[in-house]
Amino acid sequence: MFTRLIESLAATEALSGVFSDHSVLQAMLDFEAALARAEARCAVIPERVAAPITDAARAEDFDIAELTRLSLRAGTPAIPLVKMLTARVGAIDPEAGGFVHWGATSQDVTDTALMLLLRQCRHILQADHERILAALRRLSNDHAATVMLGRTLLQPAPPVTFGLKAAGWCAAVRRGWERVSSRFDEALYLQFGGASGTLAALESRGLAVSEALAIELDLKLPDGPWHGHRDRLGALMAALSIYIASLGKMALDIALLMQFEVGEVAEPGGDGRGGSSTMPHKRNPTACMLTLASAKRVPGLLADFVGGMIGEHERALGAWQAEWPLVHGIVQSAGVAVQSMAEVAEGLTVDAARMRANLESTQGTIFAERAVMMLAPSMGRDAARRTVEDALRDAGAPPDLPGLHTPEEYLGSAEEFRRRLLQGDK
């Protein structure tokens, strides 16, 4: 499945396939076919009409361009879809055509279709997520003892290890996915409420049909229709947004470490990745750039979604109808970010020698804190600080104390923290 050119930096091929016109239409038709089978099983409609409705519910037989045009006129794709499906079923079996969409409403079709699409997205996102975790664990273990500058407020700070940095990325991304996964579990529910959420058209058999329909579609059955309450879907969008932000943090760190003046790591290149249209020498942090673009795009989408949760009564006027593009944008952004950072993590080049050289280029100034701590027991903390500050001002370096400039001896609990982060300690 191809991605539209206008979305080429904001979508992946895999998720474009899930959100393709054919896939979206088929998800809506799957609802209609499953509804007919569930109602036939519950003796709400004649048993024999379920088969022709199911047989007619094939996306390839519909004029998607015409459906799209009519959807804008109708304010929902469900209305023209039901008309088209009814006509197709009626051509096969006139009686069966009268039982299409029996007792359902437009939002039942579109909300449930969205759940079916999101379920497919979950597996695609998770596969790339697991690639990131495996690669970051390997990087962390391989570089457990690789010392590098710590950097606070973009300035040199006492040393850390690259293994600790990678473990921090790994833990944040893992926590983020745990939230996303739990929100997927929470969100993937059937929506089936009929005209105003009571299934009154089905009289006393509404709940029985709901249970049968949930089984047909392999979705969970909610305690009641959720058409007016978007909190579970909103929680999933929020969790995805936080997850993307954690990937963005990793991307920004790596992009900064890739700067020529720093040169401590590099994204994988080749195959059209990282070049410039005018500067052949360039090796741009392209995957990090795409991830950061996703992370910058998502907060506005999430804010719009949350704003739309405040809807009127049993069906919102405009707010609910705004959701599909917002959900699509957030999920596609997650797809771009997780796929890009999986590529980065798996192919990242780490220059341990450059890390050491950059650390040593500070001429020991990053050990000023350590010098204070070494002098404090004999002269007191305030006097020790003044002594170190005077030395830095006069000589550009802290006092030359035994062992002061050995970074491996000033890592504190870095290794213990690294191991705990990889083990999943909270």
Q: Which residues are catalytic?
A: 276, 315
Contact 41, 212 (CB under 8 A): yes
Which distant-in-sequence residues (6+ apart) come within 8 Å of 248 by Cβ? Answer: 291, 292, 294, 295, 296, 337
Q: Tell me, what amino acid is at 101?
A: H
b/e sequence 141-161, b meaning 16+ C-beta within 10 Å:
eebbebbbbbbeeeeeebbbb
Distance of alpha carbon 233 from alpha carbon 327, whole angstroms: 9
Angle formed by the axes of helices 286-308 and 323-347, nearest 10° = 150
Residues with Cβ within 8 Å of residue 169, at least 6 apart in sequence: 136, 246, 249, 250, 253
Q: Which residue has the tokens 């009571």?
A: 198
CA gap 164, 149 in Å, rounded = 12
Cross-strand bridge partners of residue 136:
none
In order of 11, 29, 52, 87, 222, the CA distances from 1 in angstroms are: 12, 20, 29, 29, 33
Going by the DSSP 8-state scheme, the letter that residue 264 receives in this structure is S
Residues 205, 206, 207, CA angle at the centre, nearest 5°?
A: 95
Whether the CB-CB separation of 217 and 118 falls below 8 Å is answered with no
- Please enumerate in sequence order all residues whose Cβ is within 8 A of that of 360, keeping only pairs 6 or more positions apart, or say none: none
Query: Which two structure tokens, joined as six digits, stand for 207?
Result: 């709940």
Residue 347 has a CB neighbour count (10 Å cut-off) of 15
